[in-house]
Structure 1
Amino acid sequence: MQIRVGFGYDMHRLQEGRELWIGGVKLDYEKGLLGHSDADVLIHAICDALLGAANLRDIGYHFPDTSPEYHNVDSKLLLGETMNLLGEKGYALGNIDATVCAEQPKLNPHIPAMRRKLAEVMGVSDGLISIKATTSEKMGFVGREEGITAYAVALICKS
């Protein structure tokens, strides 16, 4: 059995007038994340971790922000396509461990819904997906509530 690990990181700026999507779940907040797609920072970090583990480059390579096809796209579609790319290479998900860093809104109440939604999109058990939330203790651009970051590690397996 071949086991591979990948790491993903993403950040997006918060902006008024945008919807806030994290982990495939729409959150009620006065600002959303700015990006070419829906800017779901958690899904983007997970996609990069999965693609990196399979040596398939990164999310920008497969879903470029210069393409009108991906303008305002639902990031859950990008995650589903990422899982298809892994399947084509014979890989299956071992697990995901992810952390989202945001001062506001508080994410902990939404983590169970995020895990369920991501598992549904990825076609796996939600027991394979760990999501944690933290703050940056009021330091840096996250601490000033200018943006949100996400980090993810993915383990994939090939028989």
Structure 2
Amino acid sequence: MTKIRIGQGFDVHAFGDGDHVMLGGVRVPHTRGVLAHSDGDVALHALCDAILGALALGDIGQHFPPTDPRWKDADSRALLRQCVALVHARGWRVGNCDLTILCEQPKVGPHAQAMREAIAADLGIEVEAVGVKATTTEALGFLGRGEGIAAQAACLLVHG
């Protein structure tokens, strides 16, 4: 019998000064940046939380606390690879993942394939096992007003 675990994650960051956002490991040009201790990649932070949740190891803030100067301006792809190392150390592997980025801007579609490729490389899985999509909140709430960006992720781990 195959053992599986499912995790889910969510992250949000407010917009601030800047000329790009990091999304799914890809630098996406934008009129704003994000306020964050690390590079603020909401997609990868949500995915890290999904992985850690599937392992029942808490959340990204416990492993990479924003109070720790080691993680200042950290590359979220490096954080994701550390989470994947935890997966492998426990005898699991990533089966697939699915991410949804929530924002009015920037447009995610033109960058989705590059995100899928970056995420697949970091997870050590095929691109076909990585879903990246986006939606708006129909101009409702803080996301709809363009005050920030959010992402949610789901991840399947398979034992062995």
The TM tier, using the shorter chain, reads over 0.9
1:150 CA drift (Å): 0.3
Quick one: which amino acid aligns to residue 111 of structure 2? H
Task: Give the alignment of 1:84-99 within 5 angstroms.
Answer: 84-99=85-100
Q: Name 2:154's counterpart in structure 1.
A: 153
| Aligned residues with identical type, % of pairs | 44
Paired residue secondary structure (1:50): helix
Q: Deviations over 1:117-145 (max 9, x none)?
A: 11112221111110110000000000000
Matches within 5 A, 1:25-36: 25-36=26-37
Report the TM-score, using the length of structure 1 for normalisation.
0.97
User: What is the match of residue 115 of structure 1?
Assistant: 116
The answer on whether the counterparts of 1:18 and 1:33 sit within 8 Å (CA) in structure 2 is no
Q: Is the 8 A contact 1:101 1:150 kept in 2?
A: yes
Match of 1:63 in 2: 64
User: Where in structure 1 do 4 or more consecutive aligned residues deviate above 3 Å?
Assistant: none
Aligned counterparts of 1:115 and 1:18: Cα–Cα separation in 2 = 22
- Within 5 Å, which residues of 2 pair with 1:1-159? 1-17=2-18, 19-159=20-160
Q: CA deviation at 1:7?
A: 0.7
- Give structure 1 stretches of 5+ with no counterpart: none
In structure 2, give the amino acid aligned to 1:33: V
Equivalent residue letter for 2:88: G
How many correspondences in the alignment? 159
CA RMSD of aligned residues (A): 0.9
1:131 is aligned with what amino acid?
V
CA shift for structure 1 position 18: 5.8
Residue 57 of structure 1 aligns to a residue whose secondary structure is coil
State the TM-score, normalizing by the size of structure 2. Answer: 0.97
Cα contact 2:18–2:34 (8 A) shared by 1: no
Deviations 1:4-37 (A, max 9, x none): 0001000000112364100000011111111100
DSSP-derived class of the 1:21 partner: strand
